[in-house]
Structure 1
């Protein structure tokens, strides 16, 4: 049974790495297995293994030439500026990189902004973008550093306001993903849900952790609650995965087909069609 579960979860990882964002990719399979993530409190120094210039150069090679030239001009202006002018230039660059969906340089500029102007909102923005970069990056060297940076951003946000649920949720998620003991992160997320039962981000993280740890009954309850609040393709897909692992093939098929309908993605549709055919043959 365990080997079957491993195969199913591995299949989910391969699928969602292409199709979905943070919630599916980040928690189905622990990234600790992919790269050695230090325990909490052992963060490396900023930019220790991520060089902003190198990241920017690589990203510019993958976008429209005119946009690349525009960003290069802005980066030159940033380098030449100081004080508030440089801060404002970093904000512009973070937005420009986000506009072209290059999350790593965008996140690094937001981190610069937060270090220069240490407000709750700036740290939350940096943490959110760093986690997005972490979730959409497959490089085994870069991902642990992004997680470390996100953890530090949320730690700083939490230090400024320990009652802020976004800061607590983000910090809990980074801990669950490898920055310290997972159960301490789960405790933080449970506290968020206690205070805000409809907090989708915290609920999704708890649901995906339940799948990751093989607690499929708990995952089913969590994802059904999430779907009652906001039906999404990834919530239905996770629900189907949990049902499938418990041998509840009919329920799994229904959940997968709901995911397919909401996503309207050709690649996902093809995957689910094959999955449904397999499950029907087992029934």
Structure 2
């Protein structure tokens, strides 16, 4: 019974996605109960099943993405793709980078990440693999395709693994790798330990701290999440940190604290979509008091 109640209360948090930045183009993160949210096929041990990690076809992804764009934008991308295909080998990386940027400009993270991957394969630098991993994680967080998610997570994992091979001390590489492990590319505690190591060496690392906070929420450890988000706010207050803090307080039944955090998130964000959601949530919480 207790587990049933908890499962209805826990709010699913998307790792590493800032709530505010994508409100106008994506679903609001962290607002959907688990039973309402499609998830990737993850075995009980936390690892993605190899059978689910399908190959992503760049041509198919491009066609699908361009179907969502205006004719002019689609034509621009087609021209860049043709330039990439005809470019000499020495210029392939630069051409792939242009395509990645163009796809990112139109909020298409999957093809953008695939072109960053091509760039990194041609010019395997730390920054290139970090950019690739970050973009694949962005695509992973935003997709609702349960078959595509494992493939995107696998590619993010590979990118960050390559980054760590280049610089094993890179906090960004270790943070990204830890996030992919916790999300399904290994045993969760292995990823948590990696993130904790990053925070131990750099207590003000916002990305690692934010990931630890959201993972604490997903596992129902709301007291730990409150502490983590308060630490983040002490370093750098942000709308998403306050929003997640409010969510943690709400799940603990601390409605007054939740209302205060939500209102601070609303004030910092200055976003009409979020403001409306928070106004409704605050009204509902006040009615419980």
TM over 0.5: yes
Aligned partners of 2:193 and 2:73: how far apart in 1?
44
Aligned partners of 1:264 and 1:280: how far apart in 2?
22
Tell me: CA distance 1:190–1:134, structure 2 relative to 1, closer, same or farther (3 Å).
Answer: same
Q: Could you tell me the TM-score, scaled by structure 1's length?
A: 0.88
Per-residue deviation, 1:261? 1.7
Q: Secondary structure of the equivalent of 1:211?
A: helix
Aligned partners of 1:257 and 1:243: how far apart in 2?
13
Q: How many residues align?
A: 279
Tell me: CA distance 1:241–1:201, structure 2 relative to 1, closer, same or farther (3 Å).
Answer: same
CA contact (8 A) 1:90 1:110 kept: yes
Aligned partners of 2:249 and 2:48: how far apart in 1?
37
CA contact (8 A) 1:22 1:135 kept: no
Give the equivalent residue in structure 2 for 1:35: 40
Q: Secondary structure of the equivalent of 1:36?
A: coil
CA contact (8 A) 2:206 2:232 kept: yes
Give the equivalent residue in structure 1 for 2:150: 144
Per-residue deviation, 1:59? 1.2
CA contact (8 A) 2:10 2:220 kept: no
Q: How does 1:253-264 map to 2 (within 5 A)?
A: 253-264=259-270
Tell me: CA distance 1:7–1:259, structure 2 relative to 1, closer, same or farther (3 Å).
Answer: farther
Q: Secondary structure of the equivalent of 1:247?
A: coil
Per-residue deviation, 1:4? 4.3
CA contact (8 A) 1:223 1:236 kept: yes
Instruction: Single out whichever of 145-154 and 90-99 deviates more from structure 2.
Output: 90-99
Per-residue deviation, 1:42? 7.2
CA contact (8 A) 1:44 1:148 kept: no
Root-mean-square deviation (Å): 3.0
Give the equivalent residue in structure 2 for 1:6: 7
Q: How does 1:1-283 map to 2 (within 5 A)?
A: 2-10=3-11, 19=23, 24=29, 34-37=39-42, 48-283=54-289
Q: Secondary structure of the equivalent of 2:146?
A: coil
Q: Could you tell me the TM-score, scaled by structure 2's length?
A: 0.86
What are the Cα deviations for residues 174-202 of structure 1, in whole angstroms up to 9, with x where unaligned?
A: 01111111100000000000111110000
Q: Secondary structure of the equivalent of 1:19?
A: coil
* Unpaired segments ≥5 residues, structure 2: none
Per-residue deviation, 1:263? 2.1
Aligned partners of 2:237 and 2:9: how far apart in 1?
22
Aligned partners of 1:164 and 1:142: how far apart in 2?
28
Aligned partners of 1:65 and 1:251: how far apart in 2?
49
Which has more helix, going by share of residues? Answer: 1
CA contact (8 A) 1:37 1:179 kept: no
Tell me: CA distance 1:254–1:43, structure 2 relative to 1, closer, same or farther (3 Å).
Answer: same
CA contact (8 A) 1:226 1:235 kept: yes
